[in-house]
Amino acid sequence: MTASQKIWALHLGLIAVLFAAQYVLPPYHATNLARIMVLSIFAMGYNIAFGYTGLLSLGHALFFAAGMYGMGLSLTLLGWTALPALIAGLVAGGLLAGAVGVLALRTAGVSFMIVTLMFAQAGYLALLYFGTITGGDEGFNPDRSLRMIGSLDLSADTPRYLVALGLFALALLLCLWLVRSPFGRVMVAMRENEERSRMLGYNPFAIKLITLVLSGFYAGLAGAAYGLLFGYVGATFATIQYSILPMLYVLLGGAGTVIGPFLGALAMFYLIDLASGITDAYFFVVGAALVALVLFAPKGILGALRERGVRWLP
Amino acid sequence: MTKDFSAQGLTRRTLLKGTGAGLLASAFAAPVWAQAAPIKLGFQLHRTGIGAAYGRWYERTAQAALTTINAAGGINGRPVEIVFEDDGTDPKRGAEVVEKLTSQHGCDLIFGPLFSHVVIGSAPRAGELKVPYLVCSEGYHVASGMLNRWTMQPGITDVRAQVSSMAPWVLANLGKKVTMVFPDYAFGYDHRDFFTAAVQAGGGEVIAQIAIPPTETTFTRYLPQIPAETEVLYHVMVGPAVLTFVKELGEFYGSGARPQIFGFIDSLEAVDTAAPGLEFLEGTHFWEAHNRVKQADASEHEVAYRAAVGVDDNGASVSDAKDVSTYSHMFSVWETLHVIKAGMEASGYQTSADRQKFVEAVEAMSDMPESAAHVQGAKKFNGKTHQVFGHQMISKVEGGKLMRVHKTTMEDGMYDDAVDYTTQSF
Amino acid sequence: MAAVLALTAVGLSLVFGVMRVVNVAHGEFFMLGAVLAWFVTYYLPLPPAFAWLAALIIAPLIVAGIAALADVLVLKRLHHDPEATIVATIGLLYMLQQAALTFYGPDARPVAAPFEWRIQLPWFGYSGYKLFVVLAAGLILWGVWAFMTRTKAGLVMRATQVDRDIARSFGINVDRVYAGTFAFGAALAAMAAVLIVPIQQAHYLMGHDPLLLSFIVVIIGGLGSLRGTLIAALVIGLSDGIISMFFSPTLAKIIATLLVALVLVFRPQGLFGAKA
């Protein structure tokens, strides 16, 4: 098999396995997997910015929440149906990422992290401030009758799983196509050596902005889907914890790999789930995992695999 | 022969065990239901996160209630078991915990959460799984109709009822011009809206509303915003900074002239009223759902409850006098567990297929007289709004202790139904 | 509160200035200081004033030890790479928070002030202890200043800040300077916490706000500039109150946060830093 065939086999294979999983897994794990797939979309978006282009943001919760509220408020305030609302969420995430990017991308490195963190904090406070429409810290539940795409009831387990899988597959394949396209190589060039790419005639600001907006689309879609599929829209999703989460997933799975974010989300989700069964101190487990990762496996699971011979991994 | 044994669920080993005379005797000595499969209840617990101080006492109360119920024969003759699962006081994890307790642990129902955002984040999943979800939250989210048929609050009154029933007494006894200090988010808004409305209805006036942002750790700069003509200062705060708030209030007024002060005990839940810096609270008033300090007229049920949970006469842990309980909230866990028992017995609950019958049985409940099950006092359950109503207490700090000066009627806190969950489908 | 804010922020600024890394766990060192102060005053059989003084010495020392350990065990192996350090300190943040929850519990617990004395003005009162805090913080800050400018250790730290490679070629053990700076910064945060804990309470989630505020102060003051940090702490400590007079407090916080972000975007050297 050529590298290209292997790549397609791997990714389409993953989607097929996930499709089959719903018939094999007990219901608890099937629903978990639906959650993990949606969260992986978020992490994939984070990976586009961080893993491929080197933009370490601490404000992605803002774009996730923008998607969630963009979706939720379109349902409740504008009276839209689920599908347009989902798209509204996607757009909201991308637009906000663009707005933040125009300002924040004037900085780099540590300053970029802090600026994105500040914007996200302001966004979180704004959600509380406009509590009369956002539900503030309590949030709100989109009515079950609104959580329908056509006759597909998203509050039922099978349609929910299928929609999560569909969005996940779409996001995964798009990401795969993106990173293998010429633009994807420019993104990596930006991460590796910004000066040299500038000299080659690329505009770093424009490229980073496009990347961040793409990343925002992913985050927005994930937020909108999470709110729609699981029926809750709330301001906690805009807190810093939810900016750190995708970073954790990406680092664990392997920054700059297409499947890494999914693997990371899967591993992290079950790490917390299992750890909380054994000990109350599962935050300690999370913290220790972070430190251990950055110390011993800075490239994550797939990054390590790639270094040990599976060189064709995208 | 062998076939017959297996048909009765007997294996060779149990047969051998059963024939041993000593073992036989001990089998009879054990409670009869030791053979029956236990009823499994899931507890969604705030063990970590911002609600951890409450969660710890909720867990203790649940354990105490569980012991009491099992000692009295369990539910429907079956032993009861509680599976505790931490939700980190986070709505996302909360929904996952509902899932885990239901699908993974196979719990018959779920109860116990306090924080509103966790309740609202988890209720949709409970509705989808069709598992009864009994919350101990005091939020108005149940009776306002925003949740679903599977979510009920039979163990504690909601903020709207608590707040509205305070207004008449405050106006009659403390003053007519009220300034409110409350947290700048949903919980605070319930106080703001319902208390202001009740004050206006009673002929008083709210002259200032001071909303404090949720991330604040010091309050000195807000206090000068209290108008000088204020007759009553109404305060409610939650979270780890509550003690700072009350202390700074004390520093602000000091020994000088001050308005009457009326607070919600949330401002001092899990905090010792005799802590240094709180001397100024002497003579001020508090809402309590359940008197932390044992009152002279405490019922036998309340005394038994206090002993079972391990709370001393001052409302602190019997093993550590500095470990003050969340007394005005945690009784809800005790009462909810007893409502679960009553509901399961009324509906003849056997398996998870009877969950709907259980909900209907609770909806059919109404009067709940003061008893070993309802230790806080008599209550009335509204099956349409899934919300219980009860008495509220007003206490005055005397000698550093909260002593009750007034007990409202149940009617004081009642309001028109905003929803009829019984018309919704399951 | 500006004084305590300055103390915490100076610790963060020092670490950033010398080591060029952002310590996200800085707020947790603050929290640890407060929690340890509670342990010290609770278990030492001394009158409140002495117990508190003991805490003021013991708590920062322990925190400094933990910080030095974290630096040697983790950060050094990352070669103080700025981004890896952020991730590692986030991990540290979670671990410290969980440790506090496990060993200290979820309650907010008070620590008795070394003395109770109020200034009663005709219209309102003010706590004498708060004035004392301002004085003490000022004194410690002055000490830090003297340490950085007058002592050999301070000189070495400043030399490392300017250029770590040249410092190394002059025979300075850069690793030890880094560990020392990291510990010193953490000790300052802990000291600030011991000062504040009789006013607020020790709680395992209390590190979040000081961290954000210190970030703001350090940014406005110019990353790594001690003088800028001091001025910014004063300005912000005072202006926070003024902004909140005009807007609803939550709105004031939103505006302040956005302003800080914009300062960092348009004046990365800070409002008071020299143009780079």
Mean pLDDT by 10 residues, chain C (276 residues): 75 81 88 92 83 90 94 87 82 90 82 71 64 84 85 84 80 86 91 86 82 78 72 70 62 81 78 50
Query: Which of A236-245, B412-421, C39-48 has the weakest average pLDDT?
Result: C39-48
- Assigned domain for C249 exists: no
Give which of A17, A229, A142 is closest to B99, Cα–Cα: A229
- Assigned domain for A7 exists: no
Give which of B85, B89, B57 is closest to B239, Cα–Cα: B89
**Number of compact structural domains in chain C:** 1
- Amino acid present at C118: R
pLDDT of residue C140: 87
- Which pLDDT tens digit goes with each residue over A92-126? 999 999 999 999 999 887 788 888 988 999 999 89
Q: Are residues B41 and B182 in the same domain?
A: no
From chain A, the residues in CB contact with C96 under 8 A are 287
pLDDT of residue A145: 86
- Assigned domain for C82 exists: yes
Percent of chain A with pLDDT over 70: 99
Q: What is the mean pLDDT of residues B100-106?
A: 93
Higher pLDDT residue, B217 or B34? B217
Percent of chain B with pLDDT over 90: 68
Give which of A134, A142, A112, A146 is closest to A238, Cα–Cα: A134
Query: Which of A76-85, B39-48, C130-139 has the weakest average pLDDT?
Result: C130-139
Do the chains contact at B99 and A236, CB–CB below 8 Å? Answer: no
For residue B61, is pLDDT > 80? Answer: yes
Do the chains contact at A115 and C264, CB–CB below 8 Å? Answer: yes
pLDDT of residue A231: 93
Q: What is the mean pLDDT of residues B42-47?
A: 94
Domain that holds residue A110: 21-239
CB B164, CB B415: distance < 8 Å: yes
- B187 three-state secondary structure: helix
**Number of compact structural domains in chain B:** 3
Give which of B128, B162, B130, B129 is closest to B332, Cα–Cα: B162
Chain C residue closest to A117 (CA)?
C261
Q: Are residues B199 and B266 in the same domain?
A: yes
Do the chains contact at C101 and A121, CB–CB below 8 Å? Answer: no
- Assigned domain for A272 exists: no
Distance CA A135, CA A129 (A): 10
- Amino acid present at A313: L
| Reported confidence tier of residue B380, pLDDT bands at 50, 70, 90 | very high
pLDDT of residue B423: 94
User: CA torsion sign, A162 to A168 to A169 to A171?
Assistant: positive
Give which of C90, B103, C15 is closest to A117, Cα–Cα: C90
- Assigned domain for B144 exists: yes
Give which of A72, A99, A103 is closest to A88, Cα–Cα: A72
pLDDT of residue B19: 41
Query: Which of A288-302, B127-141, B146-160 has the weakest average pLDDT?
Result: A288-302
For residue A90, is pLDDT > 70? Answer: yes
CB A20, CB A186: distance < 8 Å: no
- Which pLDDT tens digit goes with each residue over B168-196? 999 999 999 999 999 887 888 889 999 99
As for the ipTM of the complex, it is: 0.89
pLDDT of residue B4: 40
Do the chains contact at B243 and C108, CB–CB below 8 Å? Answer: yes
Measured CB to CB, residues of chain B less than 8 Å from chain A are 47-48, 85-86, 90-92, 95-96, 99-100, 103-104, 116-117, 120-125, 127-128, 139, 141, 146-148, 184-187, 189, 213-215
pTM of the model: 0.88
A residues 193-252 lying closer than 8 A (beta carbon) to B = 230-232, 234-237, 241
Q: What is the mean pLDDT of residues B5-12?
A: 40
Distance CA A164, CA A149 (A): 13
pLDDT of residue C246: 60
Do the chains contact at A287 and C83, CB–CB below 8 Å? Answer: no
Do the chains contact at C101 and A298, CB–CB below 8 Å? Answer: no
Distance CA B130, CA B143 (A): 19
Do the chains contact at C208 and B270, CB–CB below 8 Å? Answer: no
Interface test with A, best of C22, C26, C71, C98 (most A CBs within 10 A): C98
- Assigned domain for B229 exists: yes
For residue B422, is pLDDT > 60? Answer: yes
- Assigned domain for A136 exists: yes
Distance CA C5, CA C133 (A): 11
Domain that holds residue C133: 2-205
Q: Are residues B88 and B232 in the same domain?
A: no
Confirm or reject contact between B243 and chain C (CB < 8 A): yes
CATH at B96: 3.40.50.2300
Give which of C233, A129, C159, A194 is closest to B189, Cα–Cα: A129
CB B214, CB B185: distance < 8 Å: yes
Domain that holds residue B42: 33-157+329-390
Give which of C159, C157, C184, C183 is closest to C170, Cα–Cα: C159
- Which pLDDT tens digit goes with each residue over A126-136? 998 888 888 88
| Reported confidence tier of residue A259, pLDDT bands at 50, 70, 90 | very high
Query: Which of A295-299, B111-115, B178-182, B402-406 has the weakest average pLDDT?
Result: A295-299
CB C194, CB C31: distance < 8 Å: no
Return the H-helix or E-strand segment holding C155: helix C152-162
Q: Which residues contact C151 (CB under 8 A, 6 or more apart)?
A: none
Distance CA C253, CA C261 (A): 12
- Assigned domain for C219 exists: no
Q: What is the mean pLDDT of residues B76-95?
A: 93
Of B209-213, B293-297, C78-82, where does the model show the most confidence?
B293-297
Do the chains contact at B48 and A280, CB–CB below 8 Å? Answer: yes
pLDDT of residue B25: 43
Phi/psi of residue B263, nearest 5 degrees: -125, 160
Interface test with A, best of B101, B104, B129 (most A CBs within 10 A): B104
Q: Are residues B235 and B86 in the same domain?
A: no
- Assigned domain for B314 exists: no
Confirm or reject contact between A141 and chain B (CB < 8 A): yes
Do the chains contact at A137 and B120, CB–CB below 8 Å? Answer: no
CB neighbours of residue C267 within 10 Å: 15
Q: What is the mean pLDDT of chain A?
A: 90
pLDDT of residue C104: 86
Confirm or reject contact between B277 and chain C (CB < 8 A): yes
CB neighbours of residue A24 within 10 Å: 9
pLDDT of residue B27: 43
Q: Are residues B57 and B152 in the same domain?
A: yes
Antiparallel, parallel or unpaired: β B205-212 and B232-235:
unpaired
Phi/psi of residue B350, nearest 5 degrees: -120, -55
Rounded to a whole number of angstroms, the distance from the CA of A249 to the nearest CA of chain C is 12
Rounded to a whole number of angstroms, the distance from the CA of A211 to the nearest CA of chain C is 19
Do the chains contact at C209 and B255, CB–CB below 8 Å? Answer: no
Q: What is the mean pLDDT of chain B?
A: 87
From chain A, the residues in CB contact with B139 under 8 A are 138
Percent of chain B with pLDDT over 70: 91
Distance CA C108, CA B237 (A): 14
Q: What is the mean pLDDT of residues B42-66?
A: 92
How many beta-carbon contacts under 8 Å exist across A and C? 110
